[in-house]
Structure 1
Amino acid sequence: MFQLKWLWHNLKGDRVRYVLALFLSVAGSSLTIVNPYIGQLIVDTFVTGADAAQKLIDERALLIGLIFGMIGFSFLRTGMAYFTTLLYERASQNMLYRVRIYLYNKIQGQDMHYYDLNRTGDLMTKMTGDLDMVRHTMSWIFKTIIESLTVFLAAVVYFFYIDVALTWWLLLLSPPIFVTAFLFARRVRPMYTDLRERLSQLNTTTQENISGNRVVKAFAREEHEIEKFNEKNVNYSKANKAAAMVWLDYFPYLETFAQGFNVILMLAGGLFVMNGRITFGEFSAFSALIWGLSNPMRNIGIIINDIQRFFASLSKIIEVYYAHPKIVNEHNPVVKRRYQGRIQFEQVSFKHDNATVLENIDFTVEPGETIAIMGATGSGKTTLISLIPRFYDATKGRVLVDGVDVRKLELDELRGNIGVATQDVLLFSDTIDGNIAFGNPELPEEEVTKFARLAAAHDFIRKMPEGYDTLVGERGVGLSGGQKQRIALARAMAIQPPILILDDTTSAVDLETEEHIQQSLRELDFTCTKIIIAQRVSTTAQADRILILDNGRVIEEGTHAELLAKRGYYYEVFMLQNEGIGRQATANG
């Protein structure tokens, strides 16, 4: 019932069209009794009647009228069926369009925790195959159910009108058919839920391998990935076949019962004709309309099959439809202001899936200050900077920007004041110009060039076939890691944010290029608080302050000179990196 309410809610704007389609389905299916009735009159009047030969002469106009009536009703039903199908398709396609937009917006509005829990392939399945299954049900399955039920009831009513006893004989087969259908539905429903999950796994594997094809080729793991895909494909195929075989288990019984209507009609109906209980015309009406009983019974298995698929898909769509993010972006219209860029962490702790990632982080960054964060892999560096734009919320403590808890700030305004460049660079399938101006599509061309120069990207962009108009492949295919990082850095700086967060964005560039970028960051023509995650001492040395994280805690804090003097973690990293540089210089010499 809830699912039907959901469908009705999302039909808003097409409800009249859909209700009209349902009404026309009932009306058109009810007209199926007209031609058998006319056929009965023709047979009893002009074929088997006592004075049939005379009536063929005397009432020829009536015969012609009845024949044209049958033809006319056939055309009428055909026209109504066409128009009805058109209405179903229009209503279902419009609903699909609206729901797909809503779901896409819903997914866009989810927080990072949602993406941590949901696989890309699963979300793609919901947005494509599951939605199309709902459309198919709205435009075809419900139509088939309504028309089959109407034809069945119309035929039963007409049969009772002709002869009650013969009708009851025919209806003897209905109870076993419904019992068989019930058993089939109860057995197959969990199988389609499992089938839907296996399809999602298959799509996830496909998506991961297509997006990660370079890694697969780099490690020569094509055979392994093919085997993994084949395993998922076999699992999906087995589940599909298992569900299909269940239908085949019940199909012989349903088909036998459906054919049984004709057998009963031949035996009981033939006996009633010989006994004079019904006329031959009435028997012909039964024969012409017996499909109205057998076809719905024959289709019941197919309908149940599709209905189970529908409920399995709809449940997944509703999961997305009613999913609520923990961090809600209300998109409230506010007069967006430029922040000063003061950042405070007050006794901040963060847990992810009950595992402590950050604990008692406490520091302040003044406007225009540059803070470098260093630490071993898994120490919580990326999580820490993710709390500033509220990709996640602190479990304990507060993160403040300009003295205001970020949880009280409008998200669009907060994030509009923060430029972010991550280590895992994602470039869109657009021009280089479009990627750099992503945060501000109205950015003038000279400004795009300016920030590309600051990010040490202008020289290699200029050498590309179409310069800034060169199309970047999916996820930046065709560019080196360092080139992608520099374009991402230019994109982050292009919005001229008061807060700039850089997550190891120079790890793939050479030392000379890194020095150029560091110089550019120091000489920005707008006030900017910079938080830089880095593993190179050459990057952190010029920072106003350096934080060292270890297992989610700040274990060292100070300037480059102060941390060297402490001879702790930072000193060890410095010695390791400078020893490596010294050895390389000796070897080159």
Structure 2
Amino acid sequence: MFQLKWLWHNLIGDRVRYIVALILSVVGSALTIINPYIGQRIVDTFIAGDDASRNLTTERSLLIGLCLGMIGFSLLRTGLAYFTTLMYERASQNLLFRVRIYLYNKIQGQDMSYYDRNRTGDLMTKMTGDLDMVRHSLAWIIKTIIESLTVFLAAVVYFFYIDVGLTLWLLILSPPIFIVAFIFARRVRPMYTDLRERLSQLNTTTQENIAGNRVVKAFAREEYEVQKFTEKNVNYSKANKAAAMVWLDYFPYLETLAQAFNVILMIAGGLLVMNGKLTFGEFSAFSALIWGLANPMRNIGIIINDLQRFVASLNKIIEVYYAHPDIVNAHKGGVKRRYSGRIQFDQVSFKFDNTTVLDNISFTVAPGETIAIMGATGAGKTTLINLIPRFYDVAKGRVLVDGTDVRQLELDELRANIGVATQDVLLFSDTIDGNIAYGNPDMPEEDVMKFAKLAAAHDFIRKMPDGYDTIVGERGVGLSGGQKQRIALARAMAVQPPILILDDTTSAVDLETEEHIQKSLRELEFACTKIIIAQRVSTTAEADRILILDNGRVIEEGTHAELIAKRGYYYDVFKLQTEGIGRQANAHG
């Protein structure tokens, strides 16, 4: 029942059309008894009746009228069926369009933890195959149920009108058919839930393999990936075949019972005709309309099959439809104010899956100040900066921007004031110009070039086949790691944010390019607070302050000179890197 309520809710705008389609389905299906009735009149009046010969002569106009009536009602039913199908399709396609947009917006509005829990392939399956199954159900399955039920009831009513006894003999078959169908439905339901999960796994494997094709080729693991895909495909195929075989297990019973209608009609109906209790015309009406009982019974298994698929798909869609993010973006309108860029961490702790990642972090960044963060892998550096734009919420403490807890700020405004460039760069399948101007699509071309120059990207972009109009492949395929990082840096600076967060964005560039970028960051034309995660001392040396993280705690804090003097973690890294550079210089010398 809940599924039907969901469908009705999402039919807003097409409810009248869908109700009209349902009414026309009932009317068109009910008209199926007209032609058998006309056929009965023709047989009894002009073929098998006592006065058949005389009627052929005297009532010829009636015969022509009845024949024309059969043709007319056949055409009417055909026209109604066409018009009804058109309305079903229009309503279902409109629902598909609306729900797909809604789901996409819903997914866009989810927080980072949602993406941590859900696989990309699973979300893709929900947005495509599952939605199309719902559309198919709305346009065809419900239509088939309504039409089959109407034809069955119309046939039963007409049969009772002709002969009650023969009708009761025919209806003896109904209870065993419903029992078989009920057992089939109970058995097949969990199989389609499992089948849907296996399809999701197959799509996830496919998506990950295509997205990571370079890694696969780099490690020559094509054979392994083919084997992994084949395994998922075999699992899906087995589940599909198992569900199909269940239907085949019950098909002979349903088909035999459906065919038994004709057997009962021949035996019981034949006896009634021989005894004179049933006319040839009435028997012909039973024969012409017996499919009205047999076909719905025959189709009941197929309908149950499709309904189970529909329920499995709809439940997956509803999971997304009613998913609520913990971090809500209200998308309030109005003019977005520009922040001054003051950031404060006040006794901040953060946990991920009950594992403490940050523990009691406190520090303040003044507007325009540059803070560098350094620490071993897994120290919590990226998690720390993810709390500023509120990709995640703190477990304890507060993160404040301009003196206000980020949980009280409007997300669109907060994130519009922050430029982010990460080490793991994602570029869109667009031009280089489009990628740099992603945050401000109306940005003039000269500004795009200006920020590309600041990020030391202009020179290599000019050498590209179409310059700034060069189409970047998916995720930046065709560009080196350093080139992608520089485009991402230009994209972050292009929105001229009062807060700029750089997560190891110069790790893949040479020292000369890094020096150019550092100079650009120092000489930005707009006021900007900069938080830079880096592993190179050459990047952190000129920061106003440096924080050293270890196991989620700040273990050192100070300027480059102060931390060298402390002879702690930072000093060890400095010594290691400067000695390494010295050895390289000697080797080249």
**If the length of structure 1 is used for normalisation, what is the TM-score?**
1.00
Could you list the per-position Cα deviations for residues 521-571 of structure 1 after superposition, in whole angstroms to 9, with x for gaps in the alignment?
001011100000011111111111111111111111111111111111111
Q: Provide the residue aligned with 1:22 in structure 2.
A: 22
Q: Provide the residue aligned with 2:53 in structure 1.
A: 53
Could you list the per-position Cα deviations for residues 54-73 of structure 1 after superposition, in whole angstroms to 9, with x for gaps in the alignment?
11011111101100100000
SS in 2 for 1:379: coil
Deviation at 1:497? 0.3
Could you list the per-position Cα deviations for residues 149-176 of structure 1 after superposition, in whole angstroms to 9, with x for gaps in the alignment?
0000000000000000000000000000
Q: Distance in 1 between matches of 2:392 and 2:429?
A: 28
Q: Provide the residue aligned with 1:131 in structure 2.
A: 131
Q: Provide the residue aligned with 1:473 in structure 2.
A: 473
Q: Distance in 2 between matches of 1:451 and 1:313?
A: 47
Q: Distance in 2 between matches of 1:226 and 1:573?
A: 43
Q: Provide the residue aligned with 1:208 in structure 2.
A: 208
SS in 2 for 1:148: helix
Cα RMSD over matched residues?
0.5
Q: Provide the residue aligned with 1:585 in structure 2.
A: 585
SS in 2 for 1:556: strand
Whichever residue aligns with residue 87 of structure 2, its letter is L
Whichever residue aligns with residue 247 of structure 2, its letter is W
Q: Distance in 1 between matches of 2:119 and 2:375?
A: 29
Q: Distance in 2 between matches of 1:134 and 1:335?
A: 40
Whichever residue aligns with residue 556 of structure 2, its letter is E
Q: Distance in 1 between matches of 2:580 and 2:180?
A: 77
Q: Distance in 1 between matches of 2:307 and 2:570?
A: 63
Q: Provide the residue aligned with 1:443 in structure 2.
A: 443
Q: Distance in 2 between matches of 1:178 and 1:221?
A: 52
1:269 pairs with 2:272: no
Q: Distance in 2 between matches of 1:331 and 1:389?
A: 15
Deviation at 1:577? 1.2
Alignment of 1:281-292 (within 5 A): 281-292=281-292
Q: Distance in 1 between matches of 2:355 and 2:276?
A: 85
Deviation at 1:312? 0.2
Deviation at 1:335? 2.4
1:537 pairs with 2:525: no
Q: Distance in 2 between matches of 1:169 and 1:569?
A: 92
Q: Distance in 1 between matches of 2:65 and 2:361?
A: 92
Whichever residue aligns with residue 342 of structure 1, its letter is R
SS in 2 for 1:424: coil
Q: Provide the residue aligned with 2:184 in structure 1.
A: 184
Q: Distance in 2 between matches of 1:300 and 1:212?
A: 45
Could you list the per-position Cα deviations for residues 90-140 of structure 1 after superposition, in whole angstroms to 9, with x for gaps in the alignment?
000001100000000000000000000000000000000000000000000
Q: Provide the residue aligned with 2:355 in structure 1.
A: 355
Whichever residue aligns with residue 343 of structure 2, its letter is I
Q: Provide the residue aligned with 1:311 in structure 2.
A: 311
Deviation at 1:3? 1.1
Q: Provide the residue aligned with 1:300 in structure 2.
A: 300
Q: Distance in 1 between matches of 2:468 and 2:556?
A: 43
Deviation at 1:334? 3.2
Q: Distance in 2 between matches of 1:466 and 1:550?
A: 45
SS in 1 for 2:340: coil
Q: Provide the residue aligned with 1:227 in structure 2.
A: 227
Alignment of 1:29-428 (within 5 A): 29-428=29-428
Whichever residue aligns with residue 54 of structure 2, its letter is Q
Deviation at 1:357? 0.7
Instruction: Give unpaired runs (5+ residues) of structure 2.
Output: none
Q: Distance in 2 between matches of 1:423 and 1:184?
A: 54
Whichever residue aligns with residue 427 of structure 1, its letter is L
Q: Distance in 1 between matches of 2:254 and 2:516?
A: 77
Whichever residue aligns with residue 587 of structure 2, its letter is A
SS in 1 for 2:310: helix
Q: Distance in 1 between matches of 2:442 and 2:60?
A: 81
Runs of 4+ in 1 over 2 A off after TM superposition: none
Q: Distance in 1 between matches of 2:335 and 2:65?
A: 76
SS in 1 for 2:546: strand
Q: Distance in 1 between matches of 2:112 and 2:104?
A: 15
Q: Distance in 2 between matches of 1:303 and 1:568?
A: 72
SS in 2 for 1:361: strand
SS in 1 for 2:261: helix
SS in 2 for 1:97: helix
Whichever residue aligns with residue 263 of structure 1, its letter is V
Structure 1 range deviating more: 471-480 or 15-24: 471-480
SS in 2 for 1:89: helix
Q: Distance in 2 between matches of 1:192 and 1:104?
A: 25
SS in 1 for 2:347: strand
SS in 1 for 2:201: helix
Q: Distance in 1 between matches of 2:572 and 2:222?
A: 40
Q: Distance in 1 between matches of 2:386 and 2:421?
A: 12
SS in 2 for 1:549: strand
Deviation at 1:495? 0.4
Deviation at 1:428? 0.6
Q: Distance in 2 between matches of 1:158 and 1:226?
A: 60
Could you list the per-position Cα deviations for residues 331-382 of structure 1 after superposition, in whole angstroms to 9, with x for gaps in the alignment?
0123211100000000000011111110000000000000000111111100
Q: Provide the residue aligned with 1:552 in structure 2.
A: 552
Whichever residue aligns with residue 353 of structure 2, its letter is D
Deviation at 1:578? 1.4
Q: Provide the residue aligned with 2:513 in structure 1.
A: 513
Whichever residue aligns with residue 577 of structure 2, its letter is Q
Whichever residue aligns with residue 495 of structure 2, its letter is I
SS in 2 for 1:557: strand
Q: Distance in 1 between matches of 2:503 and 2:68?
A: 80
Deviation at 1:214? 0.3
Whichever residue aligns with residue 160 of structure 2, its letter is F
1:460 pairs with 2:460: yes
Could you list the per-position Cα deviations for residues 390-434 of structure 1 after superposition, in whole angstroms to 9, with x for gaps in the alignment?
000111000000000001111111000000001110001111000
Deviation at 1:574? 1.2
1:3 pairs with 2:37: no
Whichever residue aligns with residue 358 of structure 1, its letter is L
Q: Distance in 2 between matches of 1:92 and 1:337?
A: 43
Q: Distance in 1 between matches of 2:455 and 2:319?
A: 42
Q: Distance in 1 between matches of 2:283 and 2:424?
A: 77
Whichever residue aligns with residue 181 of structure 2, its letter is A
Whichever residue aligns with residue 139 of structure 2, its letter is S
Whichever residue aligns with residue 11 of structure 1, its letter is L
Q: Distance in 1 between matches of 2:417 and 2:57?
A: 94
Whichever residue aligns with residue 109 of structure 2, its letter is G
Whichever residue aligns with residue 179 of structure 1, its letter is I
Whichever residue aligns with residue 501 of structure 1, its letter is I
Deviation at 1:276? 0.8
SS in 1 for 2:298: helix
Paired-residue identity, %: 85
Instruction: Give unpaired runs (5+ residues) of structure 1.
Output: none
Whichever residue aligns with residue 284 of structure 1, its letter is S
Q: Distance in 1 between matches of 2:481 and 2:413?
A: 31
Structure 1 range deviating more: 283-292 or 327-336: 327-336
Q: Distance in 1 between matches of 2:393 and 2:303?
A: 47
Q: Distance in 2 between matches of 1:193 and 1:361?
A: 45
Q: Distance in 2 between matches of 1:423 and 1:194?
A: 38
Deviation at 1:227? 0.6
